[in-house]
Amino acid sequence: MEGPSAGRSQSFEAYEQNDRPLDTGDFDISFDEQNGELCVNKCPKGQVPIEQNRSEKTGRILVYFDVSVCRACPESERCPVKIGKRTVTLTIDETGYTGAARHHKYMNEKEYRKECATRAGVEGTVSKLTRAYGVRKSRHRDRNRTSLQLVFAAIACNVKRFIRHGQQ
């Protein structure tokens, strides 16, 4: 199952706001088959990068844009680029871009959000069982007794939910 990446708690309403911070998922990025690397084609406002290369020190991709254009851009406050005295740099790593792209897919596709909601419900139940009912570790070596422990934990969880539902 696939879902929104961990750590991205931006709500749907905040995502649709015009003043939300931009991330690497907003940039036009493609995968270059020859180099086997990500290639930034343009920024959200259409500016084409001057140069891009991989940093030997960090292993991340450094993308350089024209300073004068970026300083005049109305979106510069929201943009993830670092505007210096002589250069404007966007730093991208593959994992960060993958997470941002998955987040954009999650926010833009209604069907995908429905699939992720199912996963979120299951994850919550599994988390509850591990934290509150001790199903992470079995107290028994026998497979039948372990299964019985899991069944009793599930029953206890469901009974508590039923009681809480009846109280509302």
Among the candidates 62, 83, 104, a domain finishes at: 104
Q: What average pLDDT does the chain have?
A: 84
Place of tokens 């084609």: 41
Give the C-alpha separation, 151 to 65, whole Å. 59
> For residue 36, is it left (φ>0), alpha (ψ between -120 and 50) or beta?
left
Instruction: Tell whether 161 is covered by a domain.
Output: yes
Could you tell me if residue 117 is inside a domain?
Answer: yes
Mean pLDDT calculated for residue range 100-110: 79
Asked whether residue 2 is assigned to any structural domain, the reply reads: no
Q: What are phi and psi of 65, to 5 degrees?
A: -120, 165
Q: How far is 132 from 136, CA to CA, in rounded Å?
A: 10
Domains of the chain: total? 2
Instruction: Give the distance from CA 51 to its chain's centroid.
Output: 27
Which tens digits make up the pLDDT trace of 74-85? 988 889 999 999
Residues 81 and 18 occupy one common structural domain: yes
What's the pTM value of the predicted model, to 2 decimals?
A: 0.59
7 in a domain, yes or no? no
Confidence band (pLDDT; 50, 70, 90) for 13? low
**Block residue for tokens 């696939």:** 2
d(C-alpha 26, C-alpha 61), whole Å: 16
Residue 141's domain spans which residues?
112-167
How many angstroms separate the CA atoms of 95 and 101, rounded? 10
The C-alpha angle with vertex 158 and arms to 156 and 161, in degrees rounded to 5, equals: 110
Which CA distances in Å does 30 have to 21, 41, 65, 72, 111?
Answer: 21, 7, 17, 26, 24
**Pair (62, 128) in one structural domain:** no
pLDDT single digits (tens) 118-165:
777 788 888 899 999 888 888 889 999 999 999 999 999 999 999 999
Amino acid identity for residue 42 in this structure: K
Query: Considering the domain boundaries, does residue 140 fall inside one?
Result: yes
Is residue 46 located within the same domain as residue 126?
A: no
